[in-house]
Structure 1
Amino acid sequence: MSGERDLKKLVGGMSPELHPGSWVFATVPDGRLPEGATPVVTVAEPEGLTLVVRQEEADAAGLAYSYVAGWITLRVHSALDAVGLTAAVAQELATAGLSCNVVSGFHHDHLFVPFNRASLAVALLEDLAARAADHG
């Protein structure tokens, strides 16, 4: 099944969902996953393997990190070649002074925002979705 491409439908139907817990970005230079670490995202870079893991897992594995995030999934099935969803979300959050790290999966987009402001991010995105749906 292909994903949605229409920007108004994407924004209006994004249904942001905040996952429980706190998440961190860590890196392992040798590319080996530490025992007990179950990443939800990995990115291979020349400097090492970036992992996004639960903060508790990073602490238990002795992984260094500096950014603690909340994880939000946009529940709309966006097409990988859809245009504008990331920009609309990033603009909304940037206006409120919130950083946002976006990772796209096959079905959904995932946002990592400052942990202590994750609930605000969800509220802002829900408001954006409601505005888009009203003008659809």
Structure 2
Amino acid sequence: MSGERDLRTLLSTMRPELNDGRYVFTSVRRDSVPAGVSPVVTVMEREGLTLVLPEHEAREAGLPHVFVAGWITLRVHSALDAVGLTAAVSLALTDVGISCNVIAGYHHDHLFVPYERAAEAVGVLESLAAE
């Protein structure tokens, strides 16, 4: 499966889904992911390994963290080389003042937005899909 590339199809079928929970960003040394931590995203950077994980796991592991987020999954299977989806979604959220961290997975795009505005963000994306 290579994923959808057509922007109109991507937008009209993106089906944003809010995952349960509160998620946070933290950074650890490359070789020091604490036991009991199950990140939903990892990104290797020069400065360390970025983890996005449930807030309660970060607290239990004693990890300092920032940006409490809601996690939205766009259920459409987007191609990794599709053009415009990230820009369209980001613009729609920008227009209502919602920050967004986008992470592309192999099958889906994942958005991390301020937790207190996550339901609103889903509504914005559903409106975008309906246009």
TM-score by length of 1: 0.94
Deviations 1:74-111 (A, max 9, x none): 00000000000000000000011010000001110000
- C-alpha spacing 1:5/1:30, structure 2 compared with 1 (3 Å): closer
Q: Which residue of 2 aligns with 1:26?
A: 26
Q: Which residue of 1 aligns with 2:66?
A: 66
* C-alpha deviation, 1:65, in angstroms: 1.1
**Helix, strand or coil at the partner of 1:98:** coil
| Alignment RMSD | 0.7
Q: Which residue of 1 aligns with 2:100?
A: 100
1:53 equivalent in alignment to 2:88: no
Q: Quick one: percent identity of the two aligned structures?
A: 62
Structure 1 runs, 4 residues or longer, greater than 4 Å off: none
TM-score by length of 2: 0.98
**Helix, strand or coil at the partner of 2:66:** coil
Deviates most, 65-74 or 27-36: 27-36
**Ranges in structure 2 where 5+ consecutive residues have no aligned partner:** none
* C-alpha deviation, 1:30, in angstroms: 4.3
State how far apart, in whole Å, the 2-side matches of 1:51 and 1:118 are: 20
State how far apart, in whole Å, the 2-side matches of 1:31 and 1:86 are: 31
1:113 equivalent in alignment to 2:120: no
Q: Which residue of 1 aligns with 2:79?
A: 79
**Helix, strand or coil at the partner of 1:77:** coil
Contact 2:30 2:44 (8 Å CA) reproduced? no
